[in-house]
C-alpha cells in the first residue's frame, strides 16, 4: 500500500538550522499524514503571485525526497523521482484522495504506462 506509514513516523519535524538562522525565513507549507492515511495540509497560498512557483516548489521537494532516500536507504534518486512523478501524474489526472488500486500489480501497470509517456 502506497500510503502506509512506518510505525515510528509520528511527531513533528525539527525546524532546519538554515531556517532558524534566517530571520526572514517563513514556513509556507506543512503536511501531516493521519492514521487513517488521509493527509492534512496547511499553506500560505499567496506566497507567490504566480501559481507556477508552487510547481517549481513541488519539483524541488521531489528532488529533496530523492536525495534523502538515497542517503537513508541507498535508493536511486532518479528512480525515486520517477516514482514520485508517476504518483503525481496519477493523482493530478484522477484525484482520489488516496491511490486506489485493486492489486499491487494494477498499480505497477498504471505507473509503467505513465512512465512510457
Cell readout for 74 is 541507498
Exposure string for 20-35, b = 16+ CB within 10 A, e = fewer: eeeeeeeeeeeeeeee
C-alpha cell at 18: 538554515
Enumerate the β-bridge partners of residue 39. Answer: 33
Render each residue's pLDDT in the chain as its tens digit; 117 residues.
454 555 566 677 888 899 999 999 999 998 888 777 777 888 899 999 999 999 999 999 999 998 998 889 988 888 889 888 888 888 888 877 554 444 555 556 666 665 565
pLDDT score of 32:
84
pTM of the entire predicted model: 0.70
Beta bridge partners of residue 41, listed in sequence order: 31
Amino acid at each position: 500500500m502506497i500510503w502506509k506509514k512506518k510505525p515510528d513516523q509520528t511527531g513533528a519535524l525539527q525546524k532546519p538550522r538554515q531556517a532558524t538562522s534566517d530571520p526572514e525565513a517563513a514556513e509556507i507549507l506543512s503536511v501531516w499524514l493521519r492514521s487513517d492515511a488521509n493527509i492534512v495540509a496547511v499553506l500560505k497560498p499567496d506566497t507567490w503571485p504566480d501559481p507556477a512557483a508552487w510547481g517549481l516548489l513541488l519539483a524541488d521537494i521531489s528532488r529533496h525526497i530523492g536525495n534523502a532516500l538515497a542517503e537513508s536507504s541507498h535508493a536511486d534518486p532518479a528512480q525515486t523521482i520517477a516514482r514520485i512523478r508517476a504518483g503525481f501524474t496519477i493523482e493530478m489526472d484522477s484525484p482520489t484522495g488516496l491511490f486506489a488500486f485493486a492489486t499491487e500489480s494494477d498499480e505497477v501497470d498504471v505507473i509503467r504506462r505513465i512512465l512510457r509517456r
